Structure 1
């Protein structure tokens, strides 16, 4: 499994960004290898968001990015925000026992 952490700083409206992100979320959810994601909004800085997305493997994630349909999603999000996507490998997870 890999985890994408993508931090967004809005340059456009929050409502438009959330709508565009919802559309992008639906696109990714239909891709092979997608596991789950969460979009988080900063409590004190409403123009900051973080997307945490889990994928089965890096190949699946990269393949989703190469889909021609993704270009429109990328353009919509870039028109409304600056982002900093990074991939991570999970090392430790703990849940209550």
Structure 2
């Protein structure tokens, strides 16, 4: 499994960003290898968001980015925000015993 962590600084209306992200979320949820994601909104800094997305593997994630339909999603989000996407691999996870 890999995890995408993408920080967003919204430069346009936050309502538009959230709607665009919802459409992008639906697109990714339909892709092979998608596991789950969460969009987090900062409590004290309006316009700051973090997307944490889990994928089965890196090739699945990369293949989703290559889909022709993704170009419109990328353009919509870039028009409304700056982002900093990075991929991580799990190292340690703990749950209550």
Q: Where on the TM-score scale, by shorter chain, does this alignment land: which range?
A: over 0.9
- CA distance, structure 2, for counterparts of residue 38 and residue 46 of structure 1: 17
Please report how far the alpha carbon of residue 57 of structure 1 lies from its aligned counterpart in structure 2 after TM superposition: 0.2
1:79 corresponds to which residue? 79
Distance 2:20 2:93 in 1: 30
Q: How does 1:1-97 map to 2 (within 5 A)?
A: 1-97=1-97
Give structure 2 stretches of 5+ with no counterpart.
none
Partner Cα distance (1:93, 1:45) in 2: 28
Return the alpha-carbon distance in structure 2 between the equivalents of residues 60 and 46 of structure 1.
32
Aligned length: 97
Cα distance in structure 2, aligned partners of 1:20 and 1:9: 14
Superposed displacement of residue 46, structure 1: 1.3
After TM superposition, which residue ranges in structure 1, 4 or more long, deviate above 6 angstroms?
none
Q: RMSD over aligned Cα, in angstroms?
A: 0.3
In the superposition, the TM-score normalised over structure 1's length comes to 0.99
Aligned partner of residue 36 in structure 1, secondary structure: strand
Cα separation, 1, equivalents of 2:8 and 2:56:
23
Q: Specify every segment of 5 or more residues in structure 1 that has no aligned partner in the other structure, as ranges.
A: none
